[in-house]
Chain A
């Protein structure tokens, strides 16, 4: 079974530029998560999708961050414009969904460096 796929793995951009990250969850997983992980810290949830609906985006900085999950499968996270403080690893995770407590399966992440 293929795991969660993320691309790109690394991205270096200059501040004020836009950037986008892509995530393909495990097949059949209805729930998709985007996390931000700063160096030396644990991941922090940015947004959670149940199918194509964003059910928790309270931690997403909506002035510059946006996300979408078309057709309830792949998802894209965008930052526009990027700031120096956005340098971090962006992790995508998926879980089967439903009412049972789920294990989350994480992708390898995208390491973003903003210069």
Chain B
């Protein structure tokens, strides 16, 4: 079963623009992680934010977490064509190390 729901399901932007993806989840979590999956390739871990954190940055990525609303957002600034991929949020529930993935946002960055 999928825990997270990403919004939007698909996003198309031009290079240089910012891309924002949202993730909502249902149960209490230890942490929330974002992964990227290029077409035909495996998933790559991007960033992890713990339940006691509200914002985290990594390069052009900015993640926020609002545990009261059970939601997170991923912002990619100054997007590049190479950012074209599917982005998944994944939550690790309290008490165990199982990751539950959302349904993903498909991002297309056009040159």
Contact = CB atoms under 8 A, between A and B. Distances in A.
Overall SS of chain A's interface: loop
Contacts of B90: 42
A56 B96 CA distance: 10
Contact of A42 (B50, B88, B96): B88
A32 B53 CA distance: 27
Given A101-B30, A101-B97, A44 B1 contact: yes
Overall SS of chain B's interface: strand
A42 B2 contact: yes
B103 interface: yes
Interface in B25-61: 30-31, 33, 35, 41-45, 48, 50
Contacts of A56: 96, 98
Interface of A: 4, 31, 40-45, 48, 56, 91, 93, 101-109
Interface of B: 1-2, 4, 30-31, 33, 35, 41-45, 48, 50, 88, 90, 92, 96-104
Given A42-B88, A45-B100, 14 more contacts: A40-B103, A40-B104, A41-B2, A42-B104, A43-B43, A43-B101, A48-B97, A48-B98, A101-B30, A103-B48, A104-B99, A106-B35, A106-B44, A108-B42
